[in-house]
Structure 1
Amino acid sequence: MPFQRIEAEKLSQSVVKQIEQLILRGILRPGERLPSERELSERLGVSRPSLREAVADLQERGLLATRASAGIYVADVLGSAFSPALIELMAAHDEAVFDYIAFRQDLEGIAAERAAIQGSDTDLKVIDTIFHKMEGAHRKRNPSDEAELDAEFHLAIIEASHNVILLHMMRASFNLLRQGVFFNRQQMFKNRTTRDMLLDQHRDINAGLQARDPMAAKAAVIAHLDYVKQEMSELKRSEKNEEIAQLRYAHEQDR
């Protein structure tokens, strides 16, 4: 008969499964520091030896990492999604920028639809809260905070879609965006008119989500990324024109 004796699960394995689920669902993020051993064992209601055994298992599998005199952190599991050679290759070719935007349009459109339908009320509150922070940052002269909140806003939508594969794929690509592999996000926010347009587009996305209108949310995401594509094309063309102008200027100086 195909039956096996049921064994009581070790406490350490219960701890492992809980931490795995928190990482998988994106609640514990790469680089995030775990509480101290004492605090974590108390929160989980397990002994320190059981906790140490669980942590050792997760470290061995590359999900947790120890930093000297700094504690235990969630490992940079996203950093391994793209090889260094591929990252260098993408950074060197402009076409990767537009492929990246097309990739985002496809997946974020789906994520916005799902978030409008399946996101909880709390998910939508998180998105709305980040949008209002964007409005506050918009009034500042330095666009760096607004650019960072832009990424957080889009990731919050992906989190609200409750698809863990989509979440980790998009987190990995946003990690590269933050590193400037595809383009410098702050370039997009330097021009005041562009900043105004971007804020209005995020307002439309947020409105569609808060109304739980999947078609409106998806359309707003696609329109926003169409605008980003257009602006990046203009930036690339301006950079190329400036290179040519500098060559002409250098030639004129030599004559």
Structure 2
Amino acid sequence: MSLNADSRLYQQVAEQLAEAITRGDFPVGTRLPAERKLAERFNVSRPTLREAVISLEIAGYVEVKGGSGVYITGQGGGVKASEKDVGALEVLEARILFESEAAGLAAKHITPEELAELEQTLQELVLESDEETPEESADRRFHLTIAKACKNAAIESTIEHLWRLRNNSPLPEAIISRVRQAGAKTRIKAHKDIFNALKAQDSEKAKAAMRNHLTHVVEQLLEASEAQAVEEAKQKSATNRARLKMLGG
């Protein structure tokens, strides 16, 4: 099955699956084929397929049941692309690019007042990370303070926009929620490393610390998604063992 290279892969997969559900290829109440098979069918990576499935879940086509699989729940409301439909990995890629460079620039221009603000935000981050369902408002303030410290309105506006995409676009928000549910929390040490590099006015270290932090966020996202797939595989294996035991008497 060919996919149009002009639009986002996860959107194309979601649209084609939605069309198949509407045609009745996958009746309501049945389970979608295994993730590996669907990824092979569409010739995409498993993270891309997971973004497509979450998009279908948001639109009302499917329900993801942990340890069981993905089930068809109805016709849904359509998953046509819009400007707000941005993949979580796309947002993180852009943040790595822009925020790493911004941290390097901020190290040259940050004021004592902004450093004090970052230090206060770090304390709030520690408190947030101890909460069962962290709001992450301190995390947002930390990053936007660094953007402000660049003393460049265009850079600040760009990073603010990326955070709006992260928090307000349906797909990234849904995936971030799954990362939280999997137990991934804000990494305090990573933020301290960024702060210390900024305080030392070390541009290269600030840039590297920000890149390391956001790269780890990508890894957390993929691990959380992978954990769901592993749990489903374990459940299937347990079911198979139970059946074999029954057959063996």
TM range (shorter): 0.5 to 0.7
> Per the alignment, do residues 103 and 178 of structure 1 end up closer, same or farther by CA in structure 2, a change over 3 Å counting?
same
CA contact (8 A) 1:143 1:186 kept: no
Q: Secondary structure at the match of 1:195?
A: coil
1:221 match: 210
Greater relative contact order (Cα 8 A, min sep 6): structure 1 or 2?
2
> Per the alignment, do residues 124 and 188 of structure 1 end up closer, same or farther by CA in structure 2, a change over 3 Å counting?
farther
Runs of 4+ in 1 over 4 A off after TM superposition: 186-192, 243-253
Q: Return the match for 1:103 from 94, 102, 105.
A: 94
Q: Look at both structures and tell me which one has the larger radius of gyration over its CA atoms.
A: 1
What's the offset of the Cα at 1:185? 3.7
Give the unaligned 5+ runs of structure 2: 1-80
User: What whole-Å deviation, never above 9, does each CA across 1:213-253 have from its counterpart, x for those lacking one?
Assistant: 11111111011111111111111212233455567778989
> Per the alignment, do residues 204 and 190 of structure 1 end up closer, same or farther by CA in structure 2, a change over 3 Å counting?
farther
Root-mean-square deviation (Å): 2.9
Paired residue type of 1:132: Q
Matched, 1:181 2:178: no
What's the offset of the Cα at 1:125? 1.7
Give the unaligned 5+ runs of structure 1: 1-83, 91-95
Matched, 1:137 2:146: no
Q: Secondary structure at the match of 1:115?
A: helix
Q: How many pairs were matched up?
A: 162
Instruction: Tell me the distance in 1 between the aligned counterparts of 2:110 and 2:203.
Output: 11
> Per the alignment, do residues 177 and 149 of structure 1 end up closer, same or farther by CA in structure 2, a change over 3 Å counting?
same
Paired residue type of 1:117: K
Instruction: Tell me the distance in 2 between the aligned counterparts of 1:134 and 1:125.
Output: 14
1:56 match: none
Matched, 1:86 2:86: no
User: TM-score, with normalisation over the residues of structure 1?
Assistant: 0.54
Q: Secondary structure at the match of 2:225?
A: helix
Q: Secondary structure at the match of 1:172?
A: helix
- What is the identity percentage for the equivalent residue pairs of Structure 1 and Structure 2? 20
What's the offset of the Cα at 1:87? 1.7
What's the offset of the Cα at 1:212? 1.1
The residue correspondences of 1:1-255 to structure 2 (distance < 5 A) are 85-88=82-85, 90=86, 96-138=87-129, 140-145=130-135, 147-179=136-168, 181-183=171-173, 184-185=175-176, 187-189=178-180, 194-195=184-185, 198-243=187-232
CA contact (8 A) 2:91 2:166 kept: no
